[in-house]
Structure 1
Amino acid sequence: MDQMPKVQIYHNPACGTSRNTLALIRNAGIEPEVIEYLVTPPSKDQLIKLIQDSGLSVREVLRKNVDPYTELNLDDASWTDEKLIDAMLEHPILINRPLVVTDLGTRLCRPSEVVLDILPLPQLKAFAKEDGEVIIDEQGNRVK
């Protein structure tokens, strides 16, 4: 029997992009490990690995449109990557989302259809985002 591909999503159910990404994963017939990172934040080692594996800089994974970013003055260049990671661990809302991990890679899925690049299985049916934007057509093809 084939084993289900292992997929993890660092998810915020209050975020539309995160909900759309999770729905795209499920549209491929995959039930991922859902990690609500605001409830269960990654460890420092896990966060560093997520950032490294995504190919992004620490600042690219940092969420800027939330209160702690402004309150801590995180746009100040004196913040080192290590200090930024510590701030993200202390205030998990600073971690941009959704981050998805599969055997094919780790991606910050903004926009949500970025997840299609790392899913090991094809989409099973048509899919539209919550706002109605069609991502997968009736033939199962990605709409560009």
Structure 2
Amino acid sequence: MSVIIYHNPACSTSRNALAAIREKGIEPQIIEYLKTPPSRDELKAVIAKSGEPVRHFLRERGTPYGELGLGDESLSDDALLDAMIAHPVLINRPIVVSDKGAVLCRPLEKVFEVLP
């Protein structure tokens, strides 16, 4: 099974998700999304695969969320995606993608939904 983790090594939840994947005997493709942000299409596809709304993947704490007015519930998914691409720190983490789907691993146990 192919597994991808959108990872931030400075985040303990992200490090713990990576460790949980490896404990299952899987070596995932690791994308440090702050260094190598996903394209807009890639991010949109990952979110679509999760079945969750775009806003679910938007990080508020420690980001320009407030400054950019992203709390406005009337903003479209396209506007939220544009903000996330312009400011990758707005992408919440870790996101794990496999053949079984995509999840934002908050809480950490969500990672097991997409692992064998």
TM-score range, shorter chain: over 0.9
| Larger gyration radius, structure 1 or structure 2 | 1
What TM-score, normalized by structure 2, do the two folds share?
A: 0.95
Q: Could you give the per-residue CA deviations for residues 105-139 of structure 1, whole angstroms, max 9, x where no partner exists?
A: 1111111121112112xxxxxxxxxxxxxxxxxxx
1:53 equivalent in structure 2: 49
The unaligned stretches of length 5 or more in structure 1 are 121-144
CA distance in 2, matches of 1:71, 1:38: 19
1:89 equivalent in structure 2: 85
CA distance in 2, matches of 1:59, 1:97: 13
What TM-score, normalized by structure 1, do the two folds share?
A: 0.77
CA contact (8 A) 2:63 2:89 kept: no
1:22 and 2:18 matched: yes
- The count of residues paired between Structure 1 and Structure 2 equals 116
Name the amino acid aligned to 2:29: E
2:69 equivalent in structure 1: 73
Within 5 A, what are the aligned runs for 1:37-52? 37-52=33-48
Q: 1:78 offset after TM fit, Å?
A: 3.8
**Of 28, 32, 37, the match for 2:28:** 32
Larger helix fraction of residues? 2
The unaligned stretches of length 5 or more in structure 2 are none
Q: In angstroms, what is the RMSD of aligned CA positions?
A: 1.0
Task: Find the residue that maps to 1:67 and give its secondary structure.
Answer: coil
Task: Find the residue that maps to 1:68 and give its secondary structure.
Answer: coil
Name the amino acid aligned to 2:45: K
Give the 3 Å change call, closer, same or farther, for CA 84–34 of structure 1 in structure 2. Answer: same
Identical aligned residues as a percent: 59
**Of 99, 102, 106, the match for 1:106:** 102
Q: 1:67 offset after TM fit, Å?
A: 3.0
1:62 equivalent in structure 2: 58
